Structure 1
């Protein structure tokens, strides 16, 4: 087909899809709009652009060259936003280190990514001191500190502190053009088995993901929208899939941005009230913590648009949020997909339904966003019927999916078997195109030859008024093959009053009404103090199996 390519005038500008154009050619140019970090920094987009230039000058003066890797260990802050732009804009790779991993896992990711420069918040110096002598690649360390005395107790040879170095750097920098397929970011999936796996994304992929998400969120009238008059605050770590890519979307829209640092419910709620936050995203656990915090009782949460992802949102939690006036809806994706593939936005007719009926839709996985070819397929990669009943694996194609795992050809081929990215999620799709994840392929439970969805059983048990949190895993059984084991954390007020027998009776009553598979009556209920989570707040079912089986 090369004979049919458009002719190109030699002097025509070859416009590449580079991250710098999200900053310098935004949808809304709003130089005086605010960018806030807790109560410690209040700047503007004009300052953001200058600080990005200074940071680029600082890094290049320190010897960072295109293709080298700059890593960061920090909480969500204005500094992290500056790194989101400056590092890839000089042709280097930004490695966002998951600070919730163990020291040994962090050491693995630093060496595996071949980090050249490491910026580290003073809070994480104890971790760095544990592994410093075994880091093979890093040659330059920069301290990030909210306190003037942050580095006194460390033996790390820092070249200086971030703000001081930035102030000394020249405010001019010309960002060169280069191929849009240049790698921009690397981070590591937290995983629940084995070593973390590195995923990576190019400038082109991040730009297209930004446009895909923006087009889905900005075309609706109000519900689930993200527009220039919104105030944005991430409640998903910036080290995790670029905070779902939303800081790039927010910057392109020129909206006020609020960065909360470490996620403490009282701080998040106070910032929401003080700064007028209207748009955020988080995992269900964080939403639950915020709604149950005493501060939530005195704060008006009405009109807060909140994407929930990372784990299934229960209908009970959704209804609680809706009753507080929160416009909550599901977003779906995974580390390998940059991450967003779908949103569960409602039509105007659906918004007229009662909260309980809306919740059933808002908790679905939703509709694919533009440019996403999303399919539910059988073992032969043939699409299953869109009948809301027939299950299959979710596979995808989109211009922003990771092209593989870093230095792991074998696992990369399995990820992309048959030319589709395999999510490992089991789902059904209805006639309107709405996707509903029923389970992870590795988490479905086979009881007497019948498949039981652990997610559906979790959602059922979460509706019990005494239940604060629940996780369901499969338990080997000689008679039935497997049977569900429901691990339940009670609400504080229910401790000592509700029992395993009471919740088992509740499951049996629901099954008798025919709203869920009869096989769930075989579920065993166990009351526990807490449920293990991964570093990004997801229920860690591998750890739960090891602990309780």
Structure 2
């Protein structure tokens, strides 16, 4: 035996890092804390633990065992939060199904994940009915109908969620097992090929929750989280485990509000009635909330919100700050847990330079604890931390996914050289702030120069009358590529391509951007909306296809 290893005495408890451990302190100190579903259903953390036990008992009666994959298709509900805990705690694997994928993609993910049990909201039964002939391994289907009778369906149902819960025992014994056991899986969609399965172990989830809470709670003021906050996710709970933050909220014993389906007016009403103070969402949702609240402005002051999924523009950031919101960006991807950096401002930073404050809030920020974030060239050499040297972000952290499910070649590509490759091009400042320049696939090479689509989008967004915009590279015989902009006008505003070109040329004169970054007037298209992916990101693949 290695004498340098710590040898526990036979009676010592080695405390595996399991999802159930996130409940220990929460139940002991915050058992009376509240979980609310749409403001219509409420119960305490103690009752939450009872319902987790009932869920595990009900699933066990349906045949779920250690290693069984249980899929969930639901809106953001108390049932989803119960699934986040109850399914992995019994040793099974939680599969959060992206309900916004096409039926054929959902079929692919259900089959590829080896799902045996599906918990499905009544709203999504038609999807399962459409693909039922192609389902290979699904043995049991439980419908979630908010306590109502299960709707008529040709699918063979094992029962209704609340009915099965009422019949099940809350006293399920959650034992110990290896912390590397797969706790959760979901699928990420790229521009080509089938969706890729991303999995996280119990250890990954617990360490991510600890790291995220450490960083969020470390700030003295601003861009922070504390035990008196009221938490409401506005990132779909099928998306990267809602960025891991529901686990953080339970760990810290926060009042948690589950909003159901996202309707801006309903979210604003819940924000007010439940006194929500902390949320997270993609920029599109933030824009919807600000737009929906313009005519009868509710008080949004004190609402802290992490923005991720795609770049937070300075214009949108300023609009939210003007309403009293404390918005700041977070950075990560499906494969990173996801949070690896947060745009938290150093003490006193805001007082020095308001414009620089906005830029920092919109940046990915600085790495959170335990994250080794490097910006490297093609030979994996570190770029200088001078705010100018561009390279790819590569990562190491104790909670990153270790591989794609059943895709060894893609997994090796992801982890080439022992670092997780993000495909994001960035620069880093001497203070450790990261600034994304672009995705590798989205950088525009024109006139022998590299143009950042993200930077051009940000500048166009500053033009009066612009509601939203996206920029992609399109083929050009002379220059190889040229930027093309898709612009959504604000309601009732007049705006033409000449005004946009004129504003961009001002930035050329000030040396902020190259002349090659300015789209020609006939390559500025005004559209009613910009296509989004299933998680609310701008779908540049579709835009490139439209520009052909």
Question: TM range, normalised to the smaller chain?
Answer: over 0.9
**Cα distance in 2 for residues equivalent to 1:348 and 1:340:** 22
Task: Give, in whole Å, the separation in 2 of the partners of 1:296 and 1:351.
Answer: 30
Work out the CA distance in 1 between the residues paired with 2:452 and 2:200. 33
Aligned positions of 1:159-308 closer than 5 A: 159-294=158-293, 297-308=296-307
State the alpha-carbon separation in 2 of the partners of residues 334 and 384 from structure 1: 22
* Residues 230 and 256, structure 1, Cα contact 8 Å, conserved in 2: yes
> What's the CA shift for 1:44?
1.1
Specify the SS of the correspondent of 1:412. Answer: helix
Taking a change above 3 Å as real, the CA distance of residues 460 and 295 of structure 1, as seen in their structure-2 partners, is closer
- What is the TM-score when the length of structure 1 is the normalising length? 0.97
Residue equivalent to 1:529: 528
Task: Indicate the residue corresponding to 1:107 in structure 2.
Answer: 107
- State the partner residue of 1:484: 483
Q: Are 1:48 and 2:76 matched, yes or no?
A: no
Residues 233 and 143 from structure 1, CA distance in 2 versus in 1: closer, same or farther, beyond 3 angstroms? same
Unaligned runs of 5+ in 2: none
TM-score, normalised via structure 2 length: 0.98
Contact 2:147–2:162, Cα closer than 8 Å, also in 1: no
Q: In the TM superposition, what whole-angstrom CA distance separates every residue of 1:316-340 from its partner, at most 9, and x where no partner exists? A: 0001111111000000000000100
Give the structure 2 partner of residue 511 of structure 1: 508
Q: Give the equivalent residue in structure 2 for 1:457.
A: 456
Secondary structure of the residue that 1:503 maps to in structure 2? helix
What CA distance in whole angstroms lies between the structure 2 residues aligned with 1:77 and 1:321?
Answer: 26
Which aligned pairs between 1:46-445 and structure 2 lie closer than 5 A?
A: 46-146=46-146, 148-152=148-152, 154-294=153-293, 297-353=296-352, 355-445=354-444
CA deviations on 1:244-279 (whole Å, 9 max, x unpaired) are 000000001111000111111001100000000000
8 Å contact kept, 1:71–1:119 = yes
1:34 and 1:25 map into 2 onto residues whose CA distance is: 15
8 Å Cα contact 2:437-2:452 kept in structure 1 = yes
Alpha-carbon contact 1:28-1:254 (below 8 Å) kept = no
Indicate if the aligned counterparts of 1:77 and 1:259 stay in contact, CA closer than 8 A.
yes
The C-alpha deviation readout for 1:503-524, integer Å capped at 9, x for no partner, is 1222112221222223223443
In structure 1, C-alpha distance between the alignment counterparts of 2:30 and 2:191, rounded to whole Å? 42
Instruction: Give the C-alpha shift of residue 24 in structure 1.
Output: 2.5
Stretch of structure 1 that moved more, 4-13 or 193-202: 4-13
Distance 1:257 1:81 in 2: 10
Q: Deviation at 1:384?
A: 0.3
Query: 1:365-424 CA distances to partner (integer Å, 9 max, x unpaired)?
Result: 110000100000000111100000010000000011000100000000000000000000
Cα shift at 1:297: 3.7
Structure-1 separation of matches of 2:408 and 2:456: 37
* CA deviation after TM superposition for structure 1 residue 174, in Å: 1.2
Displacement of 1:310 after TM fit? 0.3
SS at match of 1:180: coil
CA drift at 1:353: 4.0
In 1, the alpha carbon distance for the partners of 2:29 and 2:78 equals 18
Query: Helix, strand or coil: the match of 1:340?
Result: coil
Q: Is the 8 A contact 1:228 1:255 kept in 2?
A: yes
Instruction: State how far apart, in whole Å, the 2-side matches of 1:147 and 1:204 are.
Output: 34
> Equivalents in 1 of 2:270, 2:124: separation in Å?
24
| Aligned equivalents of 1:488, 1:466: Cα separation in 2 | 10
Q: Which moved more, 1:397-406 or 1:292-301?
A: 292-301
For the residues of structure 2 that align with 1:171 and 1:443, how far apart are their CA atoms?
A: 51
Is the 1:319–1:356 contact (alpha carbons within 8 Å) kept by the matching residues of 2?
no
Q: CA deviation at 1:444?
A: 0.2
- Take 2:309 and 2:354, find their aligned partners in 1: how far apart are those partners? 23
C-alpha displacement of 1:149 = 4.1
Q: Tell me the CA shift for residue 191 of structure 1.
A: 2.2
Say how many residue pairs are matched: 546
Q: Is the 8 A contact 1:55 1:166 kept in 2?
A: yes
Change in CA separation of 1:206 and 1:276 when aligned onto 2, cut-off 3 Å: same
- 2-structure distance, mates of 1:179, 1:159: 30
Moved more, 344-353 or 259-268: 344-353
Q: Distance in 2 between matches of 1:164 and 1:14?
A: 38
Q: CA deviation at 1:26?
A: 3.5
CA RMSD of aligned residues (A): 1.3
Question: Cα deviation per residue 1:184-239 (whole Å; 9 max; x = unaligned)?
Answer: 00100032322110000000000000000000001111201111100000000110
Shift of 1:351: 2.1
CA apart distance, 1:477 = 0.9
State which drifts further: 101-110 or 50-59.
50-59
**Superposed CA offset, 1:67-116 (max 9, x none):** 11000000001110000000000100000000000000000000000001
Q: Give 3-state SS (helix, strand or coil) of 1:25's partner.
A: helix
The residue matched to 2:288 in structure 1 has which SS?
A: helix
Question: How far 1:294 moved relative to its partner?
Answer: 3.7
Q: Is the 8 A contact 1:315 1:356 kept in 2?
A: no
- Structure 1 residue ranges without an equivalent (≥5): none
